[in-house]
Amino acid sequence: MKMQTLALGFLAATALGGIAWVFIYPFLSGEKKAESRRASVARSEPAARAADKNQRSRREQVETSIKDLEARRRKESKVPLSSRLTQAGLDWSTQKFMIVSGILAAACFLVAILSGGGLLSAAGLAFAAGLGLPRWSLSYLKKRREAKFLKALPDAVDVIVRGIKAGLPLFESIKVVAADAPEPLKSEFLAIIETQAIGMPLGEACTRLFERMPVPEANFFGIVIAIQQKSGGNLSEALGNLSKVLRDRKKMAEKIQAMSMEAKASAGIIGSLPPIVMLLVYLSTPDYISLLWTHPTGQLMLVGCVVWMSAGIFVMKKMINFDF
């Protein structure tokens, strides 16, 4: 009888332990919390997949926009003379530029002939004056205009960012820049406003800025606006990042300029020594140096010296110019 009581007590204790193991232990061990966490993660997986899908879709839209813009740039890589005149800030027509170049070449040719120079030297001077000098002047004006544009662009982007954060639309912020910015930034943003006013989308109007001002910073600005117009997003944050990039590029350009000033000074001194020596010899003994432009052999030597000096200066210029 006593053994039966012990057996029943053992069985009862085992049953109670099993029940406690089944119903109480999961709460004490944290298994219920783990199961609920796994269930919540499993329920959130479709939302995560949807968010990842939306992110991939936006990334694909951005990549497609950038590829389209780069393809358009490659097609329009050959810049006509009319566009170069516009980029230099001149309102000349192509015909007027050609006429001025021809007049300049004819005037230099006549001056060289009347001053006693040979036909070969006169032709070389006319070629340089009619073909080289106008295009060099055009390139100089273009670079000077681009430098002024890059100096004012980061501040203009900051004005647009502040306007957007204050609640102004993008178009109104661009109008503020066009009203208060210095030249040539003012005229370029006015061109964006006029282009958009005739029905062109604002994103495409901003991308056309690169055609009139062919610098990477203008291309960056157009790409940011075009992508935001197509796929949406936080425009103030994107333009704020763009402003930071523009200022960093400006700092890098100034640092490169400071580091290359020694090489530029050396190139200037080496390139100016032959003309200075030639002028000093002409002032002291003109009959001795005049053989260079009166005798055919001297003219040939003079042309060779100009060619070799120009090649040396061009090589030194390429060595100290950096693209970044």
Residue 201 C-beta-side C-alpha neighbours within 13 Å: 10
The percent of residues in the chain predicted with pLDDT above 90, rounded, is 0
Instruction: Give pTM, 2 decimals.
Output: 0.62
Q: Is residue 293 part of a domain?
A: yes
Whether the Cβ atoms of residue 292 and residue 301 lie closer than 8 Å to each other? yes
Confidence of residue 45 (pLDDT cuts 50, 70, 90): very low
Q: Is residue 128 part of a domain?
A: no
Whether the Cβ atoms of residue 263 and residue 313 lie closer than 8 Å to each other? no
Q: Which of 54, 75, 96 is the last residue of a domain?
A: 75
Give the DSSP letter of residue 128.
Answer: I
**Rounded to 5 degrees, what are φ and ψ at 176?**
-60, -45
Over residues 92-101, mean pLDDT: 86
Give the DSSP letter of residue 182.
Answer: P
Name which of 209, 230, 232 is nearest 220 in CA terms: 209
Over residues 204-218, mean pLDDT: 83
The Cα 311–Cα 270 span in angstroms is: 13
Q: Is the pLDDT of residue 44 over 60?
A: no
Burial of 123 (0-12, 13-18, 19+ CB in 10 A): middle
- Asked, as a colleague might, if the bond just before 46 is cis with ω within 30 of 0, I would say no
Q: How far is CA 12 from CA 17, 22, 254, in A?
A: 9, 15, 89
Give the DSSP letter of residue 78.
Answer: S
Query: Which of these ranges, 54-63, 199-208, 271-280, has the smallest mean pLDDT?
Result: 54-63
Higher pLDDT, 58 or 254: 254
The percent of residues in the chain predicted with pLDDT above 70, rounded, is 74
Higher pLDDT, 148 or 15: 148
Q: Is residue 207 part of a domain?
A: no
Q: Is residue 156 part of a domain?
A: no
Q: Which of 41, 57, 75 is the last residue of a domain?
A: 75
Give the DSSP letter of residue 142.
Answer: H
Give residue 59's pLDDT: 60
C-alpha R_g of the chain: 37
Number of separate domains in the chain? 2
* Residue-wise pLDDT tens digits, 228-239: 777 766 778 888
Q: Is residue 62 part of a domain?
A: yes
Average pLDDT score over the chain: 76
Q: Is the pLDDT of residue 15 over 60?
A: no
Q: Is residue 103 part of a domain?
A: no
Q: Is the pLDDT of residue 288 over 70?
A: yes
Q: Is the pLDDT of residue 316 over 80?
A: no
Over residues 296-306, mean pLDDT: 84
Q: Is the pLDDT of residue 299 over 70?
A: yes
Q: Is residue 24 part of a domain?
A: yes
Q: Which of 75, 102, 117 is the last residue of a domain?
A: 75
Neighbours of 41 (CB within 10 A): 10
Over residues 307-317, mean pLDDT: 81
Locate 291 and state its tokens.
């053989």
Q: Domain range for residue 53?
A: 2-75
The Cα 280–Cα 36 span in angstroms is: 95
* Residue-wise pLDDT tens digits, 128-175: 888 888 888 888 888 888 888 888 888 888 888 888 888 888 888 888
Tell me which amino acid residue 147 is. A
Helix ranges restricted to H, 24-127: 25-29, 31-75, 81-87, 94-114, 119-127
Q: Is residue 37 part of a domain?
A: yes
Over residues 309-313, mean pLDDT: 81
